[in-house]
Structure 1
Amino acid sequence: MKIVTCFLVAGLAVGTAVAQSRQDDRIRIAVEMENSIRKEMLNKWYPQAVDREFGGYLSTFTYDFKPTGPQDKMIVTQARHTWTTAKAAERYPTVAHYRENARHGFQFLRDVMWDKEFGGFYTLVDRQGRVKGEPNKDAYGNAFGLYALSAYYHMSKDTAALNLAKKSFYWLEQHSHDPVHKGYFQHLRRDGTPIRRDASIASTANTGYKDQNSSIHLLEALTELYTVWPDPLVRERLQEMLVLVRDVITSPKGNLVLFFQPDWTPVSYRDSSEAVILKHRYIDHVSFGHDVETAYLMLEASHVLGLKGDARTLEVGKRMVDHALRNGWDKKLGGFYDQGYYFRDKPGMTIIRESKNWWSQAEGLNTLLLMADRFPNDPMRYFDQYKKLWKYVQTYMIDHQHGDWYEEGLDHDPQRRTANKGHIWKAAYHTYRALTGCVDRSRPGQTAHK
């Protein structure tokens, strides 16, 4: 009896020590992340990225944060900067310029990016605000416009922002939403007419397809909108997108299918030769970064909808993360690879792009910690992978000298050390959202609510 008691006491002591070590690591990493947010990220972008001459934000910066190039302005980047500064204004209220920067971004979205004749947001303008190329629009860009307006209204309580958010939602509802097969058409004419795919469109182009990327960010945008405007139709569309992403766009294996016909028939080249598959790789591959990001976005949407006990969403989200860890994770250094593929004549997953892009690692941190909180004793050891990924990011992704993150990890792409630090597809949105999520979840007394 005494021997058994001793073993029980020893086991409890070991368990307590492990729990304390994990908590110590958690707090240490959170402190490091908070320091990086403030001293290696936000202070590099803002207010420097604010374009005082023509409005909106500058997008393109050299590796050492010098503005470069023509500074074209895309709705996605302009919206992401607006969202980030609005969130930073709430988080750091004593730093006055975040609020001013967010207002500056909102004004550019309203006055320049919004099409006053046909509605909806233009995709791309030059630095002076003149529309570039065909004035076609897409659901992806409009989703980010909606996302930014919702966040800015939450911070500022400026009803002009909420009114434009409502106009944006109804524009998508009228033109992009598919009342028959559900979801949203991605590619639209200037007047909002969906662009239909025909024989003139190259097989390597995604024009006319529905897709996972616009769908997951519409899910994200509707989640943000519903927090400030709990309208019944917004709730209906948010629930619709959650079900579509979870049950239609995500495969039984746990990865997202990238493109679909309008009726949600998957676009796949798996029955073709390897040469044909690789030619169409941007239409059909496994994107591990999107998978881990989507697991978080689904759980966030479920939480905002108030779906307590939503076991289905948690089950699918976990499956997505597990699939990415088993098939797209660098087991030596850590980090998620960019692309993989299930070739018909090869066993398991083949990595077809070994680079580790910055946004996948950021999203991975956020989602791994979320899974560690939900499944602390799972064999996948989410917290250990979270620590390993943060070490990888600290070593190969963050530029501790010039600030922000390299576009791809230096372990595989050392030339990125002197590549542009910012461009129209790279700002602070992914990194800010992920790191602040990790920090907030790591504060003493905080638990994962999603």
Structure 2
Amino acid sequence: MRAWTDLPSHRRWLEGHSRDLLAFGRRSGAPDGGASWLTDDGYPWPERGVHTWITARTVHVYGLGAMLGIPGCRGVAEQALAGLLPGGPLHDAEFGGWFAEVSASGEAGGTGADKAAYAHAFVVLAAATGACAGLDGARALLDEAGSVLLERFWDEEVGLLVDTWNRDFSVRDPYRGLNATMHGVEAMLSAADVTGDPDWLRRAVRICSAVVGFAEANRWRFPEHYDATWSPRLDLNADRPDDPFKPFGATVGHGLEWSRLLLHLEASCAARGVPVEVDVVGAARHLYARAVEDGWSVDGAPGFVYTTDWDGTPVVRTRMHWVVAEAIGAAAALHERTGETAYATDYARWWDYAATYLVDHEQGSWHHELAPDNSPSARVWPGKPDLYHAVQATLIPRLPLTPAMATAVSEGLLREV
């Protein structure tokens, strides 16, 4: 039987689902610039403020939509981008960088004025995509955001990203984490393509080499949290294990996401002649296999659990939509790289699950969170904040492993339906 990714009919379904997702988020733009957190039915939720990570991800997905020729997408991308540009509400004109959010009352910094690598990595990604889409100000934003990422968050000595500063960059938090670092790799791959600077790839190689080592040393359940010396903090947040950004234990979805990113890194480096000494394909296989073994349908119901302990026992059994989206992307990437049927079989299984349980066929988009019995839940992620993971799940299976998504779409490399 042919792999779904080889079927024109499946690619047509992916294209249609992309359009449906982008139609759902058409109201994302915030009045003063930036992007709103969305409700279950796709309306702005102003009480939740305007967040830099949601704004940047909205620029990214609607910039892609604009390049795909989907009417209405450019305006959404431009409105979101306005929140990140100099003079926009999320840009810190005094100290540089970007606030985490603007609160519902209009307070810059929201509940705190911290400057986070996670948000800044997404600004780099947004700017790179915006530059590919020809959005005004995006190319200059990429230069600025890249400089901030390197000057404030890149640790040249260890080849990894620090996580958080206070507002004026005078105090650096001792916490180190792999979530921000992972999205830093994603941003670096895109920046390398847009700028043509291979040093972005060399930095990404250093990060991935370290992360593969962390994972291998921990039976491919890599620790998410570290101290200032990059020693694992295995018990962090044991008292609040379902934290949306810093959960306790091993995060199943990140094993899948890293698996895919390693394959993009290998392909990008091969295309530009940048050496990669670590076995990224072997690591991608191991990370994927561990995540599926630990996370998929392990508690009597279909779906991926959110987290496990260090022996693979489920801790938070809630199903997060982004985990399935990353499973789809990882299976597609592994099938693309290896040609092995098992990954194509998994790919179809993950999409079947998403279509059955996660896609909201009444109100649109995906439920962002399901309870262990696969009924909609809102304990961790109320509403439907943004479209980033779901939209990418519809595009990754139709794109080559390199160049990065925005450049590939801009160059017309999306496989025809």
Q: Normalising to structure 2: TM-score of the pair? A: 0.85
3-state DSSP of counterpart to 1:181 = coil
Residue equivalent to 2:11: 30
Task: State whether residues 175 and 193 of structure 1, in contact with CA within 8 Å, keep that contact through their aligned partners in structure 2.
Answer: no
2:82 — aligned with what?
107
What is the aligned length? 392
- How far, CA to CA, are the matches of 1:248 and 1:230 in structure 2? 30
1:218 lines up with 2:192 in the alignment: no
Q: Distance in 2 between matches of 1:374 and 1:293?
A: 15
Residues 1:29 and 1:369: Cα distance change in structure 2 (over 3 Å): same
Residue 288 (str. 1) matches residue 252 (str. 2)? yes
| Partners of 1:306 and 1:246 in 2: CA distance | 19
- The yes-or-no answer on 1:421 pairing with 2:362 is no
2-structure distance, mates of 1:392, 1:38: 20
Q: Tell me the alpha carbon deviations over residues 374-401 of structure 1, each in whole angstroms, 9 at most, x when there is no partner.
A: 33446xx222222121111111100111
Task: Report the Cα distance in structure 1 between the residues aligned to 2:96 and 2:309, rounded to whole angstroms.
Answer: 39
Query: Among 388, 394, 404, which residue is 1:435 paired with?
Result: 394
| Conservation of the 8 A alpha-carbon contact between 2:97 and 2:115 | yes
**C-alpha spacing 1:234/1:75, structure 2 compared with 1 (3 Å):** same
Q: Paired residue for 1:358, among 307, 316, 321?
A: 321
Which stretch of structure 1 is more off in the superposition, 231-240 or 304-313?
Answer: 304-313
- 1:360–1:401: structure 2 CA closer, same or farther, 3 Å change rule? same
2:303 maps to which residue? 335
The Cα of 1:129 is off from its aligned counterpart by: 4.7
Corresponding residue for residue 43 of structure 1: 23
CA separation in 1, counterparts of 2:5 and 2:129? Answer: 33
**Residue 241 of structure 1: CA displacement?**
2.1
2:61 pairs, out of 84, 96, 100, with 84
Indicate whether 1:141 and 2:119 are aligned.
yes
- 1:279 corresponds to 2:239: yes
Alignment of 1:364-379 (within 5 A): 364-377=327-340
1:165 aligns with 2:132: no
> In the alignment, does 2:133 pair up with 1:155?
yes
Structure 1 residue 31: Cα displacement = 2.9
Normalising to structure 1: TM-score of the pair?
0.79
Alignment of 1:376-415 (within 5 A): 376-377=339-340, 381-409=342-370, 412-415=373-376
Q: Is the Cα–Cα contact under 8 Å of residues 160 and 207 in structure 2 kept in the other structure?
A: yes
Q: Are residues 1:117 and 2:88 paired?
A: no
What CA distance in whole angstroms lies between the structure 2 residues aligned with 1:236 and 1:194? 28
Tell me by how many angstroms 1:447 deviates. Answer: 11
* Whole-angstrom CA distance in 1 between matches of 2:308 and 2:352: 23
Write out per-residue CA displacement over residues 251-272 of structure 1, whole angstroms, 9 at most, x where no aligned residue: 4522221011222211123xxx
Percent of residue pairs bearing the same amino acid type: 19
Could you say what secondary structure the match of 1:49 adopts?
A: coil
Q: 2 CA distance for matches of 1:90 and 1:101? A: 13
Say whether residues 1:75 and 2:56 are aligned partners: no
Check 1:138–1:280 CA distance in 2 against 1; reply closer, same or farther (3 A cut). same
**Which residue is equivalent to 1:228?**
194
Structure 2, unpaired ranges of 5+: 402-412
| Residue 156 of structure 2: aligned partner | 179
Structure 1 distance, partners of 2:337, 2:156, is 36
- RMSD of aligned alpha carbons: 2.9
